[in-house]
Amino acid sequence: MDMDGDWPLPRPRTRFRIDRRRSDASLTSKTSIASTFSSLAMPVVIEAVQRTKALSSGVDPEAFHQLRVAFRKLRALYWAYSPWLGEEATAQASEEFKRLAAVAGGTRDWDIAGDLLETAQKSDASIELLVTAAREKRAQAVAHSQAMIKSEAVEAFLNDAVLRAQTTLQSRCSDLPIRAFARQRVRMAQRTLRKRSRRAARSEAGHEESLHDVRKAGKKLRYLLEFFQPVIKGDHDRTIKELTSVQKTLGEFNDIAASETLIRNTTFDEVPADVVEKSLQWLEERKCQRIDVASRRVRAISG
């Protein structure tokens, strides 16, 4: 879990001017590396802030999920620009994005586990006790997320982080065009995905973790293609579509594996141990089914 991140959320000394245009409207192959950063980052920042504000009064499962996605996209973008931002600045911002995503993700994790348990309940009515307990855990996760993610603090942090990054980039690469740089970072993400896919394809021990690594690498590549598609040559819609499909397959497996771990590591005072065990057995059976499907998809892309 990434719940122990403690990098502070500073209120910016200088307010960053938000460009509300679509990111692809201002991107061309001759645009500089520095100027593209805010064009790409700010739409994601705006979305994250809007969703954070909505969480103060709402408990929509999709809102928590999309907030987590927004923070993941920002991590991918900071990774892309890390050669110019510097290792320390990238690591600081990325760790806070990761922490915030984890806090938002707690509710989403219980949503997924609850849905799976409701399916398991159809074959064993006694699991209803665990379904009810999971709903209570979900409510606790909502309260935790709302307490830990304050929209004012998140907005201040994100604006400050982008301002700092923009200032750094303007001082280091304000005249360098984006195309070659973007293509190089996309190629690096592609190599990482290929390497992890091949490792997972031949892996036996720790196979679940290998599949998870492939999933993370695939997400990073897809986000970068979506960010940089306006400035890199070629039609990447097909690649994005294929990555999305692979992510869906790996995500279905990961949902089951993560739910199993979540339930196994949680104490349910009002649920008999045998009921918890039956739910874990059901999840284990489904996980074994899904891991074969996920493994075949990974082998297919590893070449």
pLDDT of residue 9: 38
Q: Which residue carries 């290998």 as its tokens? A: 210
Q: Which residue carries 């990774």 as its tokens? A: 79
Residue percentage of the chain with pLDDT more than 90: 69
What is the CA angle 148-152-156, rounded to 5?
Answer: 105
pLDDT of residue 301: 87
pLDDT of residue 1: 35
What value does the mean pLDDT take over residues 177-184? 94
Please give the C-alpha separations between residue 200 and each of 196, 210, 259, in angstroms, as whole numbers: 6, 5, 21
pLDDT of residue 247: 93
Domains of the chain (ranges; CATH) run 23-302 (1.40.20.10)
**Averaged pLDDT of the chain:** 88
Q: Is the pLDDT of residue 293 over 50?
A: yes
Q: Report which of 155, 164, 161 is spatially closest to residue 74, judged by C-alpha positions.
A: 161
Query: Are 24 and 230 spatial neighbours (Cβ–Cβ below 8 Å)?
Result: yes
State pLDDT tens for residues 117-162: 999 999 999 999 999 999 999 999 999 988 888 889 999 999 999 9
Rg (CA), the chain: 21
Query: DSSP readout, 32-81?
Result: BHHHHHHHHHHHHHHHHHHHHHHHTT---HHHHHHHHHHHHHHHHHHHHH
pLDDT of residue 21: 39
pLDDT of residue 205: 57
What is the CA angle 93-95-100, rounded to 5?
Answer: 95
3-state DSSP call for residue 177? strand
Q: Is the pLDDT of residue 7 over 60?
A: no
Euclidean distance between CA atoms 55 and 141, whole angstroms: 12
| pLDDT: which is higher, 288 or 18 | 288
State pLDDT tens for residues 238-259: 999 999 999 999 999 999 999 9
pLDDT grade, residue 112 (50/70/90)?
Answer: very high
* Backbone phi, psi, residue 274, to 5°: -70, -30
**Burial class, 259, CB count within 10 angstroms (exposed 0-12 / middle 13-18 / buried 19+):** buried
Euclidean distance between CA atoms 249 and 241, whole angstroms: 13
pLDDT of residue 75: 97
State pLDDT tens for residues 198-235: 999 887 655 888 999 999 999 999 999 999 998 887 77
